[in-house]
Amino acid sequence: MNHEHERHGHPAPTTAARAAPGFWNRARRSHAFVIGAALTLLVLCMAALSFLWTPHSAYDVDMNAALQPPDATHWLGTDAYGRDIVSLLLVGARSSIMVGVIAVGIGLLVGTALGLLAAARRGWIEELVMRIADFTFAFPALLLAIMLTAVYGASIRNAIIAIGIFYIPTFARVTRAAANQIWSRDYVLAARACGKGSSRITIEHVLPNMLPSLIVQATIQFALAILAEAALSYLGLGTQAPEPSWGRMLAEAQTLMFQNPLLSVWPGAAIALTVLGLNLLGDGLRDLLDPRLARQR
């Protein structure tokens, strides 16, 4: 069937295209996908809502209202500076999503390009790309953030750069492995026999057929990026005051564990539910976009 497409001048159908019929019917039966999508949508709605409305200002300090318990005015209480917890959680969702989107975007774009280049050219180019990826793996996001902080100072921008650089070899390896499998397929061999160059084959055949793998990988890495941002902010290397951040909320709550333990529960629960939702969404997408698993459903 793939040869027929080649003979008529059409690219081979992608995995996503083959999996499209009945996708939503199968998605509704996937508990992981439904729960993950619901939790992820909830976090996205929180971030979007914070641009339009919050119960109180997330930036105004009111020491007279510090450490108030939950009541009708402050639904989850206030922190040590009198700021409303609900407002902090809503605005903090922005930072987490922004870091996740930009950092994963950096890793996805650069890593995918390097992985495709390595698979298409092979030889010394593939070896060079993979060795650079191995070298980059020696510098985790936390270490990169510390190095950038020492030179340029602590900021959310440096945290995003550190996380993004750390993700480049991850996506490069995933892309190279998936692309190498596709390069051995019959429809790619037929395209080469028709005189198509490596660049054209990569764009028309390799990249479209590996999109499902990249989507699943990006979803999972998004969850890890949120965890990394929270960890960096907790250490004072990420989001800086007065911008709210779930990681900074945890850092500020650690000295008040015995006075007000709920201060650490709310941001911790937000991080946990967000990561859980993205991981479940990634697992659900992997099952739905894998044609072998799709045929079993």
Most confident listed range (9-13, 38-42, 122-126, 190-194): 38-42
- CA–CA dist 212, 15 (Å, integer): 7
φ, ψ of residue 38 to 5 degrees: the values are: -65, -45
Task: Look up residue 22 and give its DSSP letter.
Answer: T
CA atoms within 13 A on the CB side of 240: 10
The rounded percent of the chain whose pLDDT value lies above 90 is: 60
161's CB contacts (< 8 A; 6+ apart) are 106, 144, 148
Is pLDDT of 7 > 60?
Answer: no
- Phi/psi region, residue 20 (left: phi>0; alpha: psi -120 to 50; beta: rest), is alpha
The predicted-structure confidence for 75-98, as pLDDT tens digits, reads as follows 999 999 999 999 999 999 998 999
- CA–CA dist 30, 84 (Å, integer): 37
- CA–CA dist 275, 226 (Å, integer): 7
| 120: nearest Cα among 215, 216, 193, 205 | 205
Query: What's the whole-model pTM score?
Result: 0.86
Tokens of 20: 């499209």
The predicted-structure confidence for 110-123, as pLDDT tens digits, reads as follows 999 999 999 998 88
φ, ψ of residue 256 to 5 degrees: the values are: -120, 25
- CA–CA dist 205, 178 (Å, integer): 12
- Tell me the residue length of the chain: 297
Average pLDDT over residues 223-232: 93
Q: Are 182 and 210 in contact (CB under 8 A)?
A: yes
Higher pLDDT, 47 or 196: 47
Q: Are 26 and 278 in contact (CB under 8 A)?
A: no
pLDDT at 20: 52
- CA–CA dist 141, 124 (Å, integer): 28
Q: Give CA torsion, residues 204, 209, 108, 92, to 10 deg.
A: 130
Is pLDDT of 27 > 90?
Answer: no
The predicted-structure confidence for 132-166, as pLDDT tens digits, reads as follows 888 887 777 778 888 888 788 889 999 999 999 99
- CA–CA dist 170, 217 (Å, integer): 9
pLDDT at 6: 46
- Residue 29: pLDDT band with limits 50, 70, 90: confident
pLDDT at 1: 45
